[in-house]
Structure 1
C-alpha cells in the first residue's frame, strides 16, 4: 500500500521545477538585456563587454542553482520524514493495520538508482563503532566473514566491540592481534558478567542466552560511548558501513533505535494455525542490524523499560521465540516514538517465509545481506545464488589484503606493528638471505580453534597431546591419525583463506573427524615464500592444553595404544620432577598400503622382511642413529642416549619446554636445532622400549625440492646454522661449545 501523500508530493515536485525554469528564463533574458544596454556605453570596448556579460550571467546562474538545490533538499527531507520512521503518526497506523511492508513500494526506498539527494557521508577519519555478540567456535568463524566484508568497503577507522564468552575471546583476540589491520581497535566484554541480566528469560531460539545479550548493551558498553551499530554475526556488507552510520543524523529528538522492518509474516501471526507471536507494530522489526543511540537510551531508562516489558509479556507468552527481537518489538509496540525505520535494503533477510525480493530491484540496491536462518546458505530465495556468491567472496577473500592503511587518518600503531616495523628496518635488502630473515619476522594471521574443541584432562596429571603441523597436501593423514591416537591433538594448519574453507567442508563431511572434539585445529594463513614450519609447531605447542606433549609430524602414524603407553611412561619416569625428553623410535614404509603392526614383535618381523625400515637410514642416517635401533630391538626398559650432531628424534616433553627456533623455515635443521636446545638445557634423552611411529610415503614437499635444486638456499641454511650456534653460545656459555665443535668435526 502506497503512502496517501505520494501523489501530492509528485505534483509538488513538478510544479516547483516548472516555476524554477520559468523564473530562470525570465531572469536570464532580463539580465541579458540590462547588461547589453550597460555594455553599449562608449566607455567600454568589446572585450570588456564580453567579460562583464559573462560575470553577470555566471553569478545569476549560480544563484538560481543554489535556490534549486535548497528546494530539492527540502523536498528530499520532506520525503525522508514521511518514509524513514516517525511512527507516532497516521502513516504508521495505516501500515500496522494492513501489514504492508513500508520498504516495498517506492523506488526512493529501494535503492540508490533514484534521483534523491545523497545524504552527506561521515567526516573523514571519523571513528565508527560496531558491536557484536559472539560466543563459541562457530560464531567466531562467522564473525570473521562479517568483519572482512566491512573492512573491504570501509574508508573510516573502526572500533569493534565484542561481547564474548571465553572461547570467542581467545580466538578473536589472537586473530586481531596477528591480523594487525591499521586503524582498527578491538575491545572485549565478558559475556559471563552479563548472563545474570538475561538468564531469567526463557528463550526457545537456537542462539540461547547469547541471543538476549543485545538488550544489555547500554550497560555492557562504555558509558562514554554515545552510539553504536549492532550486528548479528551472520551479516554480510555490500557497501561502506559509513553509509549506515550517517543515518544517525536523521533520527528525530525522540528516536533512539534504528531498525529494518521484519520481512516475514511472523509477527502478523498468520504463518500457521494457533501461531501466537509476541506483540509488535505491524510486521515488527528485525534486530540483525540495529542503530543504537546509547546516550538517549540510558537517559530514558532503557534497562528498566525492557525488563518491565519482558516481565509483563512473559506472564502470557512464557518464553521468547526470537530472543532479543521479541523484547525489542514489545518495547517498541508500547513506545513507537523510539524507533526510526531503516530502508529495508539495510537488512535483506534471507530466512524462510520472507519477502526480501521486494527490497531491491538491482544490485546497486543491496546494502546488507542477513543469513538469518539455521539453514544459512541453503535458504529458498530466487536470488540465493547471487547472495551465496557475494558471501563466498568474503568467506574466501585473502584477509592479508585488508591490512591497508587509511592514508590521512592518524592512528595509534599497536606494539606488535611497531616491533615489526623496527625489525623490518634493520634488515638489509641486499643480503642474499633477506627472504629467510624476513620470513622469521613475518606476522601471520592465526585463527585458533577453527572447529569446535573440547578438552577434559584425564586423572593423574599425565595427559599428553600429540602436536603436529600440516598443509593442504597432508590433509588425508588426519583421519588415520585420529584412528591411531585417541588422546588430544593440537594441529597447526598452513592454508590460504580459500583452503581453510575447503578444509572446513572436508572436516564436516568426515565421520571420523566429526566424532572427535578433542582435536584443536589452528589455522595459520599463508604469507611469504617459505613454509614457516617452526612457527607452525610453536602455535600448535602453545595451544596444547595437557601438561605433556608428543612432538610429532603429521605424516607419521603412532602405534595403536601409544597414547596410553606414553601416559604410563610419564608417571613411571617421574617426568613431573625431572627434565626428560622421551624418544619414540621412528620407522618408515615405502608402501602406500601397509598392514600396520599391532605390536613390537610384529614390527621387528616386518623390519627383518624389509617391509619396514628405520627412518631415513638410506638418506639421512645421522638424524636417528643415536636412538640405537640395535639396542632397542631387545630393550625391555627405557635407556638413556647421548646427543649427537644432527639428531632429530620425535620426543615427549613437558609443555613448558623450549620453543622451536623460527629462523629455520622450509626444509632443513628445524627439528635438529630444537633437540640441540633441549640438550643444552640438560634434558635427559630417554628411549622408550615399547613405543614406535611409522612414516607413511608421500610426494616430496616443495621446500625440499627447493633445497635440493638451489645452492643459494643451501648456503643460506648454512648461514642460519652458524648464527644459531653463535646465539646458543651467548645463551648457554661454554656448555654450548660442544655443538660448534661437533659441527666442525663433521
Structure 2
C-alpha cells in the first residue's frame, strides 16, 4: 500500500508539473497575441487603409525615425546655407561600415521627380543613393513620397538610400502628422509633378552639385555611376560592368586608378519604348526615334563621345573598353568611377557649368576617359532648346563668370598639370 501511495503521488506530481508548464505556454502565447494586436493598432493610428504590400509593424518605426532625424539634425553644408541630412532612410542592404566592391547609381532630384525612382530601380540591379531637395512645407510632400516609395516598392526598399537637403532660409515651418499617411500603394505619384522643374523654384537656387556630392559620399560602394534621375541604364549594365571591373580592370591596378568609364547617353522620342539593348537602340536610331542626348540645346556637351564610332563598333556580348577620348571644352559625359575622384564644386547652382566644371577638373587632375562598348543611358523625351525655364540664360552667364574663376583656381590646385579647360 505504501508503494502504491508513493506511485500515486509521483503521477500527481508529474501532472501538476505538466499543468504549470501548460499555463506558462498559454501565457506566452497570450502575450504574443497582445503584442501583435498593439503593433497593428499602432500602425492603424499612423495611416488609413494600406495595400497588402506593406509590412504590419514597419510604418510607425520608419516614420518616427525619419521625423527624429529631421527634427534633431543640425548639420550644414560648407557654405552654411543648406541643411543636410545624410541617410534619412537607408536601404535594407546598406552597410555604412563596409565599403563594398559594388557599383551604385548616385543621383538627385526634388520631390517632383521622385517618381522616376520606380522605373530606375526596376532596371538597375545594384544600390542607389539619391539626395532629395525640399523647402518650406514641401518637406511633408517629400517625406511622404519617400516613405511611399520605400514601403510600396520592394526593390527600392532593398537597394535605395535617401538623403535630404533644404535651404536654411526656407526651412520647414512645421511638420504635421499628415505626411505619415500612406493610404494606398496604387496612387500614381507622377500626376502633375513634371510641371515644376528643379530649376524653376521661385526664389531658390537649386544646388545640384551639393546634392550630387552628398549622394556620392554616402553611397556604401567603392564605385559610383552619376546619372540624372530620369535616365534609364541599358540592360545588365550593373552586372556587366562589375564583371569587367573584377576580372580585367581591377587587376590592372594603377593603370585604371585615374580612369573614368564613359557611358554614351541618348534621348528617346516621346511615346517610343525606351531601348534596353544596343541592337534595339541602333534600330531606333535608324528610325529616328532616338538621337544623341542634348544634341539640340548643346551639341558639344555630348558629341565628343563620338557617337558614330560607338554605333559602328563590332557587336559583342561582353562589356569592354572600346576607345579613349581626350577631353575637349564643353564635353560633360556621364561616367562610372571609383570613389576618390574630384567632387563637384558646390558653388555652381541652377543651370550651367555644374557638370562641365567637374569633368574639366578630372581632365586637369590627370584622369583619362574610356568609353564602354555596350553600355548606354536613355533619357525619355527629346531635349529642345526652347523648353527651358525663363531664367536659363541669366544663370548661364552668371556661372560662366564663376567658371573662369574656377579654371584659374585649378592652375593653383594642380601646378604641375599640362591639362587645361580651354
Question: TM > 0.5 between the two?
Answer: yes
Match of 2:115 in 1: 476
Name the counterpart of 1:675: 359
Other-structure match for 1:530: 205
Which residue in 1 is equivalent to 2:278?
A: 600
Q: Does the CA contact (< 8 Å) of 2:103 and 2:127 recur in 1?
A: yes
Secondary structure of 1:691's counterpart equals coil
1:144-185 superposed Cα distances (whole Å, 9 cap, x missing partner): xxxxxxxxxxxxxxxxxxxxxxxxxxxxxxxxxxxxxxxxxx
Contact kept, 8 Å, 1:397 with 1:498, in 2: the verdict is: no
* 2:229 matched residue in structure 1: 554
Cα deviations by residue, 1:513-534 (Å, 9 ceiling, x for unpaired)? 56x4121122223556211101
Partner of 2:53: none
The alpha-carbon distance between structure 1 residues 698 and 375, as it changes in their structure 2 partners (threshold 3 A), is farther
Give the Cα separation in 2 of the matches to 1:656 and 1:456: 19
- Alpha carbons 2:324, 2:369 under 8 Å: kept: yes
Give the TM-score taking structure 1 as reference length: 0.40
| 2:324 partner SS | strand
- The reply to whether residue 540 of structure 1 matches residue 236 of structure 2 is no
Following superposition, the deviation at residue 499 of structure 1 comes to 2.0
- Structure 2 counterpart SS, 1:463: strand
Distance 2:263 2:150 in 1: 32
Structure 2 distance, partners of 1:736, 1:662, is 25
How far residue 484 of structure 1 moved from its aligned partner, in angstroms, is 1.1
Q: Is 1:450–1:523's contact at 8 Å kept on the other side of the alignment? A: no
- In the TM superposition, residue 733 of structure 1 has moved relative to its aligned partner by 1.6
Residue pair 2:69, 2:88 contacting (<8 A) in 1 also: no
Q: Distance between the aligned counterparts of 2:215 and 2:69, measured in 1? A: 24
Deviations 1:530-588 (A, max 9, x none): 11101110111011112111111111100111111211232323365322100000000
Are 1:573 and 2:249 counterparts? Answer: yes
Q: Structure 2 matches for 1:22-171, cutoff 5 A? A: none
Deviation at 1:715, TM superposition (A): 3.4
2:307 to 629, 637, 657: 629
Q: Deviations over 1:219-275 (max 9, x none)?
A: xxxxxxxxxxxxxxxxxxxxxxxxxxxxxxxxxxxxxxxxxxxxxxxxxxxxxxxxx
1:721 to 389, 393, 403: 403
Q: Is the 8 A contact 1:468 1:540 kept in 2?
A: yes
> How far does residue 613 in structure 1 lie from its aligned partner after superposition?
0.2
Structure-2 change in CA distance of 1:563 and 1:541 (3 Å): same
In our comparison, the structure showing a higher alpha carbon Rg is 1
CA shift for structure 1 position 493: 1.2
Alignment partner of 1:651 out of 322, 331, 335: 335
1:504 equivalent to 2:182? Answer no
CA distance 1:316–1:558, change in 2 (3 Å): closer
| Structure having greater relative contact order (Cα 8 Å, sep ≥ 6) | 2
Aligned twin of 1:563: 238
Query: Where does 1:422-437 land on structure 2 (aligned, <5 Å)?
Result: none
1:587 paired residue among 266, 291, 294: 266
RMSD: 3.9
Instruction: Give the whole-Å Cα distance in 1 for the aligned partners of 2:305 and 2:122.
Output: 27
- For the pair 1:485 / 2:124, whether they are aligned, the reply is yes
For residue 12 of structure 2, what is the aligned residue in structure 1? Answer: none
Taking the TM superposition and a 5 Å limit, the aligned residue runs for 1:99-498 are 321=31, 373-377=42-46, 440-455=79-94, 462-496=101-135, 497-498=139-140
Question: How many residues align structurally?
Answer: 332
The question of whether the paired residues in 2 share the 8 Å contact of 1:544 and 1:655 is answered with no
Residues 470 and 554, structure 1, Cα contact 8 Å, conserved in 2: yes
| Conserved? CA contact 2:85–2:165, under 8 Å | yes
Equivalent pair of 1:664/1:670 in contact (CA under 8 Å): yes
Give, in whole Å, the separation in 1 of the partners of 2:44 and 2:383. Answer: 39
The alpha-carbon deviation at position 608 of structure 1 amounts to 1.6
Offset of 1:685 from its aligned partner?
Answer: 0.4
Aligned-pair CA distance for 1:645:
0.4
**In 1, distance between residues paired with 2:419 and 2:404?**
12
**How big is the shift at 1:374?**
4.4
8 Å contact from structure 1 (residues 587, 693) kept in 2: yes
For the Cα contact (< 8 Å) 1:482–1:512, is it kept in 2?
no
- The structure-2 alpha-carbon separation of the partners of 1:444 and 1:630, relative to structure 1 and needing over 3 Å to count, comes to same
DSSP 3-state at the match of 1:487: coil
Name the CA distance, whole Å, in 1 between partners of 2:341 and 2:414: 16
CA–CA separation in structure 2 for the residues paired with 1:569 and 1:604: 23
Spell out, residue by residue over 1:36-59, the C-alpha distance to the aligned partner (whole angstroms, 9 max, x if none). xxxxxxxxxxxxxxxxxxxxxxxx
**Higher alpha-carbon deviation: 649-658 or 595-604:** 595-604
| Contact 1:396/1:501 (<8 A) preserved | no
Structure ranking higher in helix proportion: 1
In structure 2, distance between residues paired with 1:697 and 1:733 = 42
| 504 and 550 in structure 1: CA distance in 2 versus 1, 3 angstrom threshold | closer
Q: Is the 8 A contact 1:660 1:673 kept in 2?
A: yes
Alpha-carbon displacement from aligned partner over 1:333-353 (angstroms, at most 9, x marks no partner): xxxxxxxxxxxxxxxxxx96x
Cα deviation code 1:591-623 (max 9, x no counterpart): 1x3323242122112112100001111221111
- 2:289 pairs, out of 586, 608, 611, with 611
In structure 1, list runs of 5 or more residues that go unmatched.
Answer: 1-275, 278-313, 327-350, 353-370, 380-390, 404-415, 421-439
TM-score for the superposition, normalised by structure 2: 0.68
Shift in Å, 1:398: 8.7
Query: CA–CA distance in 2 between the matches of 1:716 and 1:585?
Result: 29
CA shift, 1:707, in A, is 3.7
Taking the aligned partners of 1:645 and 1:316, their CA distance within structure 2 comes to 76
In 2, Cα distance between the equivalents of 1:548 and 1:501? 28
**Cα distance in 2, alignment partners of residues 315 and 720 from structure 1:** 72
Change (3 A) 1:374 1:503: closer
C-alpha separation between the residues in 2 aligned to 1:397 and 1:483? 28
Separation (CA, whole Å) in 2 of partners of 1:576 and 1:492: 31
For 2:129 and 2:244, locate their aligned partners in 1 and report how far apart those are by CA, in whole Å. Answer: 21
